[in-house]
Amino acid sequence: MLSNYNIILASGSPRRQQFFKDLDLDFEIRLKPVKEEYPHRLKHFEISDYLAQLKALPFKDELKANDILITSDTIVWHNNKAVGKPKNNEDAFNIIKALSDDTHEVITSVCLTTTTLQKTVNAITKVTFKALSDDEINYYIDNFKPMDKAGAYGIQEWIGQIGVTKIEGSYYNVMGLPTHLVYKTLLSITQK
């Protein structure tokens, strides 16, 4: 169904690239640097929607008629604010400590852009952690180096296996891409 389209994934994330391979999609990777800043008035999914759309802007003038550009952004939402990627080990510790023994939301927005339309969709997953000890948090940071992850953790890694007690919503969304939503939206765009 997608053979007439050229799918472009604008993401350097190995996890997102693997998801596209697992979905058995033919795609190419194109990367352009974008400063991930957003207006502070934005809240919740407005932030990830804005950033996913922002990441599509540098490609606007080079898309061809059969191209579908896919950009995305993931944030963690906790205590009414966005939690980004940690700056260093101390920041990672403080982020995970705040998420410990509590529930937060992982929000991923995906923006699909063609020459004639732009559609942004998002998924929200609630994740609950047990009370994590300082030793568990330090072990995770020292061994898994989660500096490239929103919320300072990867659910598929050790901390997810020992710490996550409940999840409501898409597991793959927490890993960085709501694959079911990407697939559904790709089909809706190509069947018009």
The CA distance from 79 to 186, in Å, is 33
Please indicate, yes or no, if residue 94 is contained in any of the structural domains.
yes
pLDDT tens, 142-166? 999 999 899 999 999 999 999 999 9
Whole-number pLDDT of residue 2: 75
Catalytic: 61?
no
**Which residues does 150 contact at the CB level (< 8 Å), separation at least 6?**
74, 75, 76, 83, 84, 85, 106
Please indicate, yes or no, if residue 141 is contained in any of the structural domains.
yes
> Domain with 42 in it: what CATH number?
3.90.950.10
The CA distance from 157 to 146, in Å, is 10
Please indicate, yes or no, if residue 10 is contained in any of the structural domains.
yes
Question: What is the DSSP pairing of strand 164-168 with strand 118-129?
Answer: antiparallel
Whole-number pLDDT of residue 77: 98
Whole-number pLDDT of residue 190: 85
Please indicate, yes or no, if residue 1 is contained in any of the structural domains.
no
Please indicate, yes or no, if residue 102 is contained in any of the structural domains.
yes
Which range of residues forms the domain containing residue 76?
Answer: 6-190
Whole-number pLDDT of residue 68: 96
Whole-number pLDDT of residue 192: 64
How many CA atoms, within 13 angstroms, populate the side-chain half-sphere of residue 37?
2
User: Which position has the token pair 């994740």?
Assistant: 127
Exposed/middle/buried for 179, CB within 10 Å: 0-12, 13-18, 19+? buried
State how far the alpha carbon of 1 is from the alpha carbons of 32, 125, 179, in Å.
28, 29, 17
Domains in the chain, number: 1
| Torsion sign (Cα): 6, 63, 70, 15 | positive
Please indicate, yes or no, if residue 22 is contained in any of the structural domains.
yes
Please indicate, yes or no, if residue 41 is contained in any of the structural domains.
yes
Please indicate, yes or no, if residue 116 is contained in any of the structural domains.
yes
pTM here is 0.93
The CA distance from 5 to 71, in Å, is 16
* Per-residue pLDDT of the chain in tens (192 residues, 90 and over written 9): 677 899 999 998 888 999 999 999 899 999 999 999 999 999 999 999 999 999 999 999 999 999 999 999 999 999 999 998 999 999 999 999 999 999 999 999 999 999 999 999 999 999 999 999 999 999 999 999 999 899 999 999 999 999 999 999 999 999 989 999 999 999 998 886
Helix axes 14-22, 179-190, angle to 10 degrees: 60
Catalytic residue among 61, 73, 142, 148: 73
